[in-house]
Homo-oligomer: A and B are copies of this chain.
Amino acid sequence: MKTKPYHHGDLRAELIRVGLEHLARGPASLLSLREIARDAGVSPTAVYRHFPDKQALEAELCRAGGQQFGAAMAEAQSKAENRPGPRLVASGRAYVRFALANPSLFRLMMTTASREDPFTRDEANQSSGFLLLRRTIAELAGPDAGTNEQRLKAVHAWATVHGLAMLMLDGQIPANEAIIDGVLGDNLAL
């Protein structure tokens, strides 16, 4: 008893799980609604019971990714020495590591974010990882937060970790722990 008609359990959650699994294996450009449905053991049509269209499914994958990202960042920070400098470095390292561990998901999160309503105030959303990074950067500033100079420093730090992540994802530089540590450790302390 308690069995649902054809599918058992929460199909919506299962579709997201399978979707993330696919992103872990291949590029986001090959992410296919039909294939996700197939792997979830369900007809393509069934997806439309849970998401209005493919784009909505992708948005949900980004949301899930954002949560994972935020959790990874938070954990890294909690393990770091409780001073702004080390915390920032720990955040940066977590940022790059997450990107390397989830290449397609990370890319999807990045490119999808720009398609969304830019002034969406749903902070639990896909950008929670970025917000965490920004908050950490803001902490570093102390009283002069909000200064123009401070904002530039924040962007600089973000650009550095993001660039490091992207160059490694694109195979332009080796995805090497020593390089990550070298760049972040020596240079990121503002």
Contact = CB atoms under 8 A, between A and B. Distances in A.
Interface string A141-185: 000000011001101101111111111001111000001001100
Given A166-B166, A183-B152, A113 B171 contact: yes
Contact of A173 (B155, B170, B173): B155
A152 B183 CA distance: 6
Contacts of A187: 152-153, 156
A57 B113 CA distance: 30
Contact of A171 (B118, B130, B165, B166): B118
Given A152-B183, A159-B183, 4 more contacts: A113-B172, A148-B182, A156-B186, A159-B160
29 contacts: A29-B29, A110-B170, A110-B172, A111-B170, A113-B170, A113-B171, A113-B172, A114-B170, A114-B171, A130-B172, A149-B186, A152-B183, A152-B187, A155-B164, A155-B173, A155-B179, A155-B183, A156-B160, A156-B186, A158-B173, A159-B160, A159-B162, A159-B164, A159-B183, A162-B166, A162-B167, A163-B163, A163-B165, A163-B166
Q: DSSP majority for the A interface?
A: helix
Nearest to A181: B152
Contacts of A149: 186
A111 B111 CA distance: 14
